[in-house]
Amino acid sequence: MGMGDDEGDVRAAAAGEFDVVVIGGGPAGLTAGIRCRTHALTVLLVEGRKLGGQLAQLYPTKYVKDYASYPEIRAGYLADLMVHHAREKDLDMLEDASVKAVERLREGFLIRTDRGDFRARAIILAVGMGLFEPSRLGVPGETEFSGRGVVYAVPNLEIMRGQRVVVVGGGDSAVENALGLSQVAHVTLVHRSAAFRALESNLELLERSLVERRLETEVVEIKGDRHVTGVVLKSSKTGSLETVPADTVVVNVGFSPDLSLVRTLGVQNDGRHILTDGPAMHTNVPGIFACGDIVEYPGKSRQIHPATGEAFTAAEEAYKFVKKPYWAKST
């Protein structure tokens, strides 16, 4: 059954009741859903935006270079493969359907989405950063030219071929976007600090690339008429201003997570992440499990591999919780 296709939606909505509802359709949610289906559980996965999570929504054109079995693979394609796998497992999936609230019932949970309500005996939370928004620069021209030259992700390198692009930010997202875009465009990378905050391997590539680097420099205004035409930069060392011509400004200065759902669930959290109770991905609420970027524990790494590993464990625990097999320790 399919990702948000009509037949699938109707089937899911008609059933209305599932062993497990997985909230979030990134690598963690898809892996949890796949493993739950291997246990023949009835499962609904609800994704508020696009299946594939950050890979599909934030960096589809970037190569992922550390996912075992693919020396390098475009993130968008890796996400497609995960979604394909989930479909092959007959996982019911709703796309563009946000979970607005979860209510505890005497037995199980009621999951309220903007496309209907569903019941589940267990929930796997795989919501990443929640329904996050990219952080803004907050400079004149940014809102005015949003979508008209100001973007927060690079869905497709080709649309920027031959352009003058200014990438703003100093972390891996900005550096990787700058490197990718330098294959097709003239790129200036602007960062307000004295050094980039990215992986050594990315910094080495940056050193060898054609990307023009401006450190200790801030964007103070985005200029244009109907579309972006340039960016005003200010040196934090000298205070001097300079206008750099640009067709596109890619803003990669982080994200504002939206954890309103997590906060209302009664699961233990530190204001930004869910605190799981040991390595079995239990939350403090019986029947609610969590995995992926949303969880926090000592040594947590926010990458695809740990997210999928935790998701597998969360699915195992959800299975034991729902089916209570004789061989499992009671959970």
Ligand X SMILES: Cc1cc2nc3c(=O)[nH]c(=O)nc-3n(C[C@H](O)[C@H](O)[C@H](O)COP(=O)(O)OP(=O)(O)OC[C@H]3O[C@@H](n4cnc5c(N)ncnc54)[C@H](O)[C@@H]3O)c2cc1C
Site residues for ligand X per CB under 6 A: 23-29, 46-49, 53-55, 58-59, 62, 64, 66, 98-99, 126-131, 173, 261, 292-293, 302-305, 307
Buried b (16+ CB within 10 A) or exposed e, 170-192: bbbbbbbbbbbbbeebbbbbbbb
Nearer to ligand X, 83 or 322 (CB): 83
Retrieve residue 33's tokens.
């859903």
Burial 197-212 (b: 16+ CB within 10 A, else e): ebeeebeebbeebebe
Shortest separation between residue 129's beta carbon and ligand X, angstroms: 6
- Supply the minimum distance, in Å, between the C-beta of residue 236 and ligand X: 25
Minimal distance, residue 79 CB to ligand X, in Å: 9
Min dist CB 156 to ligand X, Å, is 15
Write down the least CB distance from residue 266 to ligand X, Å. Answer: 15
Candidates 330, 273, 326, 316; CA nearest to 298 is 273
H helix or E strand, kind and range, residue 242: strand 241-245
Nearer to ligand X, 124 or 190 (CB): 124
Minimum separation from the CB atom of position 321 to ligand X (A): 20
Is residue 51 within 8 A of residue 95, CB to CB? The reply is yes
Q: Which is nearer to ligand X, 55 or 137 (CB)?
A: 55
Name the residue with tokens 């910094």. 203
Token pair in block for residue 99: 């979970």
Decide whether 56 or 246 has the Cβ nearer to ligand X: 56
Question: Which lies closer to ligand X via its Cβ, residue 53 or residue 287?
Answer: 53
At 69, list the tokens: 């079995």
112, containing H or E segment: strand 109-113
Q: How far apart are CA 304 and CA 283, in angstroms?
A: 21
Comparing CB distances to ligand X, the nearer of 48 and 224 is 48
Q: How far is the CB of 243 from ligand X (least distance, A)?
A: 28
Place of tokens 């625990």: 317
Distance between CA 162 and CA 33 in Å, rounded? Answer: 42
How remote is the C-alpha of 195 from its chain's centroid?
Answer: 26
CA distance 290 to 286: 11
Which tokens is 48 given? 């508020």
State which residue, 21 or 219, has the beta carbon closest to ligand X: 21
Minimum CB distance to ligand X smaller for 58 or for 244? 58
Pairing of the two strands 43-46 and 73-74: unpaired
Q: Which is nearer to ligand X, 141 or 292 (CB)?
A: 292
Q: How far is the CB of 83 from ligand X (least distance, A)?
A: 11
Output the smallest distance, CB 31 to ligand X, in A: 8
Candidates 110, 133, 85; CA nearest to 23 is: 110
